[in-house]
Amino acid sequence: MGIKFSLLTVVALVLAVFLGVKAAGLQYFFGVIFPYAAIFIFLVGFIYRILKWARSPVPFRIPTTAGQQKSLPWIKQNKIDNPSTTAGVVARMALEVLLFRSLFRNTKVELREGPKIAYQWEKWLWLAGLAFHWSFFIILVRHLRFFTEPVPFFVHMTDRLDGFLQVGLPGIYITDLLFLAAVTYLFIRRVVIPQVRYISLPADYFPLFLLMALGLTGVLMRYFTKVDVVKVKELALGLVTFQPKVPEGIGVLFYIHFFLICTLFAYFPFSKLMHLGGVFLSPTRNLPNDSRMKRHINPWNYPVKVHTYAEYEDHFRDKMIEAGLPVEKE
């Protein structure tokens, strides 16, 4: 159900632009109005979600400790996987965010007769995840060349590094291949691994199809059905300088591509894609394990009913005296 529904939604989105541009002449809507709306929704939604998370306090210091604690001076602490300082936390978070440290630990369980259990090497998810996220990021940076004039040096540099293979004309970007391969892998594993398929929701398939369509239209435009890049840049620059205009004669493929990325942006704050922001706020990762050294304050800590020693002694006094245990009141 999830797969079909998500696929059909993406197909419907593509058809909507196609008909909108080809039949109804809605270039201005798809080229200007919707992109502005999407960016607006993205920014407001993203900030709203972060603020909503941030409004809930962190009452307890609950890092998942993944290495040796700070202990006696002669015991070597694992300062990154079990940080006790801010610097350690920054290092841990950097590894987590940039290299997916936790996912790198992944293994796969194999159940054998007996029953016996074995653990197998399984880094594919990590690898595909890393390939996907980094490719996507680099592709976004590359696309800045449409939105800037003059194009900043780091965009040029990214472009050159990404295309260093110099295969074909125009040169193939490595990230284009990686992006499509990784997204395809992530989709295939979701369908093929029974457990993962079982837990998958429409909200898991939809972004994948959206990304696939996004990548395919991009590749089509660059390598196969050319669009007028100069005009595309004109439109893009118009948008960022708030002097929007829609040049005549940009192919429909561009509008499809552009609409899909805008949809992704607009969809972002309402979806699991918010893990981009959430990972930074995860209390099991972004806190030092120092709560025996430094008191962590819970802003809503409140007094609770306890059973006091006096009540305890009142209840047991005779027995305690008889057993020779010291008491407060004889």
Of residues 310 through 329, those in contact with other proteins by CB under 8 A are 312-313, 315-316, 319-320, 322-326
Residue 129 Cβ vs other proteins, minimum distance, rounded to whole Å? 7
Name the strand (E) or helix (H) holding 37.
Answer: helix 34-55
Partners of residue 108 on adjacent β-strands: 120
By beta-carbon proximity to other proteins, the closer residue of 19 and 297 is: 297
DSSP string, 275-308: HHHHHHH-TTTSS-S-TTTSPPP-TT--------
Residue identified by tokens 């057993």 is 323
212 binds other proteins (CB under 8 A): no
Out of 24, 36, 65, 85, the only residue in the binding site for other proteins (CB under 8 A) is 65
Residue 323 Cβ vs other proteins, minimum distance, rounded to whole Å? 3
Residue 179 Cβ vs other proteins, minimum distance, rounded to whole Å? 17
176 binds other proteins (CB under 8 A): no
| Contact call for residues 77 and 84 (beta carbons, < 8 A) | yes
By beta-carbon proximity to other proteins, the closer residue of 43 and 327 is: 327
Integer Cα distance of 106 and 122 in angstroms: 6
204 binds other proteins (CB under 8 A): yes
Integer Cα distance of 92 and 83 in angstroms: 8
What's at 78, amino acid-wise? N
| Contact call for residues 17 and 30 (beta carbons, < 8 A) | yes
Residue 328, classed as helix, strand or coil, is: coil
Site for other proteins in 274-303 (CB under 8 A): 274-275, 278-279, 281-285, 289, 291-298, 300-301
Out of 116, 192, 242, 329, the only residue in the binding site for other proteins (CB under 8 A) is 116
Out of 68, 85, 225, 241, the only residue in the binding site for other proteins (CB under 8 A) is 68
Residue 268 Cβ vs other proteins, minimum distance, rounded to whole Å? 12
Partners of residue 121 on adjacent β-strands: 107
